[in-house]
């Protein structure tokens, strides 16, 4: 009898590490000291208005002055010096609103992040996911520049991973057969973006994702979600994943 047994759940180490980090931070936020929880969310969450104050301080000061609110003017002046807000373009992705939010993101990361992580390797994968998270935050910022509502969650980065899989997961039968014969599902080169437009499966997948993301963003309560959904961040992460994966991909094209 063979002693070799495949694991029921065989995730890349980098995915496992991210999941453990997500859970650990959420445990601290939920059950740690209240002061620590407040500090985490105030420091790590992304707030569009903070970034707007850093990028356009004079405009924000003028708007604050017009409100004749000295307290608000002073707060804007203090935010102007807080350059750590730039880091929240990334750190917001490590926090989650509740256990349901964390569970959904964890399952999605395991499903779509794993093939991308195996293909890119841990360092390239982390850099790729970080850029998708940042792109997601910036896309959300473009539509909510003066919004004081914080956003948190890894959904934008995970959306990038979902888009990344499209670049190599939807093969025609001949290419799929060649990869299976080589026993290496990751060895094929990425498909050029223009060829994705002629791949019916890839187009349907993208349309379903875009439509569902838009519907969840517009009608969150219909999907059992309380509060608003930063659907623009998901879109920004998805598009960045679609376009940027090739810069991190170590797999070279092979001659047929």
- pLDDT averaged over every residue in the chain: 81
Looking at residues 186-213, what average pLDDT do you find?
Answer: 80
User: Where are the chain's structural domains?
Assistant: 13-248
The CATH number of 13-248, from 3.40.50.880, 3.30.750.210, 1.20.1540.10, 2.170.150.70, is: 1.20.1540.10
Query: What percentage of residues in the chain have a pLDDT greater than 70?
Result: 73
Query: What percentage of residues in the chain have a pLDDT greater than 90?
Result: 49
- What DSSP assignment string belongs to 98-160? SHHHHHHHHHHIIIIIHHHHHHH-HHHHHHHHHHHHHHHHHHHHHH-TT----B--SHHHHHH
Q: In whole angstroms, give the CA distance from residue 101 to residue 222.
A: 16
pLDDT at 67: 53
User: In the predicted model, is pLDDT for residue 185 greater than 70?
Assistant: no
The pTM assigned to this predicted structure is 0.81
pLDDT at 69: 52
Looking at residues 17-40, what average pLDDT do you find?
Answer: 94
User: In the predicted model, is pLDDT for residue 181 greater than 50?
Assistant: no
User: In the predicted model, is pLDDT for residue 68 greater than 60?
Assistant: no
> Nearest to residue 169, comparing CAs of 183, 188, 156?
188
pLDDT at 112: 94
pLDDT at 227: 60
> Nearest to residue 227, comparing CAs of 131, 45, 66, 101?
101
Which of 38-47, 105-114, 201-210, 222-231 comes out lowest in average pLDDT? Answer: 222-231
pLDDT at 174: 45
pLDDT digits (tens, 9 = 90+) for 111-138: 999 999 999 999 999 999 999 999 999 9
Q: In whole angstroms, give the CA distance from residue 216 to residue 232.
A: 11
């Amino acid at each position: 009898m063979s002693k070799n047994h495949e694991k029921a759940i065989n995730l890349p180490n980098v995915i496992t590490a991210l999941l453990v980090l997500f859970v650990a931070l959420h445990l601290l936020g939920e059950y740690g000291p209240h002061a620590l929880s407040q500090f985490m969310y105030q420091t790590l969450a992304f707030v569009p208005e903070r970034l707007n104050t850093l990028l356009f301080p004079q405009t924000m000061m003028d708007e604050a002055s017009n409100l004749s609110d000295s307290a608000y003017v002073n707060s804007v002046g203090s935010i102007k010096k807080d350059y750590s807000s730039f880091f929240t373009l990334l750190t917001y992705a490590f926090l989650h609103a509740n256990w349901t939010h964390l569970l959904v993101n964890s399952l999605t990361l395991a499903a779509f992040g794993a093939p991308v992580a195996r293909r890119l390797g841990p360092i390239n994968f982390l850099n790729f996911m970080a850029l998708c998270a940042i792109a997601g935050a910036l896309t959300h910022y473009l539509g909510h520049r003066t919004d004081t509502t914080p956003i948190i969650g890894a959904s934008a980065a995970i959306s990038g991973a979902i888009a990344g899989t499209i670049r190599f997961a939807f093969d025609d039968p001949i290419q799929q057969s060649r990869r299976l014969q080589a026993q290496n599902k990751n060895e094929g080169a990425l498909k050029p973006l223009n060829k994705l437009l002629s791949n019916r499966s890839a187009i349907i997948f993208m349309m379903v994702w875009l439509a569902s993301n838009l519907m969840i963003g517009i009608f969150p309560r219909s999907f059992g979600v309380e509060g608003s959904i930063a659907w623009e961040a998901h879109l920004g992460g998805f598009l960045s994943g679609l376009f940027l994966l090739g810069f991190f991909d170590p797999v070279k094209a092979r001659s047929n």
